[in-house]
Structure 1
Amino acid sequence: MKTLHAPTRTATVVARLLERLDASRVPVDAHQYRIVAERLAGLMLDPDVDWQPLLAQSPAAATVYENLHYAEAGLCHAPLDQAVAAEVAAREAIEAARRKPEPGAAAPDAAAI
């Protein structure tokens, strides 16, 4: 049985940098983002590393990992509960907005309905 080792410090730092770029409120240079993501992807090709701790800490790293290993990983690291909750909340907000009349708008004409 092969023993896997922990991600390198470099991989952890690059994953954190990618997280910061993802969370930035200031527009990020696409080339810079691509370089960081490619660097992390290159590091994640090492099959002797247990990537699970890093993937649990970093959604951005989990996304890169899924893209690299989609055939094996699928979307197993995607936060499904959060995505479903966001979808439900969005649908509810859209329905509420549809039901709410615009301020100052005339009531709908009964003949038009």
Structure 2
Amino acid sequence: MTAPSTESVRSRAQALLVLAGLLERLERSPVRVDPAQYRTVVTRLSAALSEPWPDDLIDALLKAHPSTAELYENLHYGHAGLSRAPLERSVESEQAARALLARVARG
């Protein structure tokens, strides 16, 4: 098995960056987004995020694209949990969920 060429990695990284940018624009669009277009972007981005990437590249990408970071976390939740979310945010989310469940239980 041969290592991928630098050009191949660069081309794949550029595609990943474009998809991450598209997802950010769709997430923040003030107009209604076509569901099929959204699904296509998320599907392609999910496939790209499932490929092996250098840690520094993926870290930089996810810091710059919050929607992609959330998708990445969801894709890797099974083995990493909420590892990319700040602990404070994770605790606040859990507390909010518990409070909501308590309110619903009270009726």
TM-score range, shorter chain: 0.5 to 0.7
Q: Distance in 1 between matches of 2:77 and 2:89?
A: 20
Q: Mean Cα displacement is larger for which, 41-50 or 20-29? A: 41-50
Aligned to 1:13, the other structure's residue is in SS state helix
Give CA deviations for 1:43-80 in whole Å, capped at 9, x if unaligned: 01112433111111111111111121102332233356
Relative to the length of structure 2, the TM-score reads 0.64
Do structure 1's residue 37 and structure 2's residue 65 form an aligned pair?
no
TM-superposed deviation, 1:17: 0.5
Letter in 2 for 1:66: E
Do structure 1's residue 14 and structure 2's residue 27 form an aligned pair?
no
RMSD: 2.7
TM-superposed deviation, 1:82: 6.2
For structure 2, the residue ranges without an aligned partner over 5 or more in a row are 1-8, 97-107
Do structure 1's residue 66 and structure 2's residue 66 form an aligned pair?
no
Q: Distance in 2 between matches of 1:73 and 1:52?
A: 15
Give CA deviations for 1:56-110 in whole Å, capped at 9, x if unaligned: 11111111111211023322333565684xx99xxxxxxxxxxxxxxxxxxxxxx
Letter in 2 for 1:35: T
Distance 1:78 1:27, change over 3 A: farther
For structure 1, the residue ranges without an aligned partner over 5 or more in a row are 89-113
Any residues of structure 2 matched to 1:30-109 within 5 Å, and which? 30-50=35-55, 51-78=58-85, 81=88, 84=92
Relative to the length of structure 1, the TM-score reads 0.61
Report the number of matched residues. Answer: 84
Distance 1:80 1:8, change over 3 A: same
- Structure that is richer in helix per residue: 2
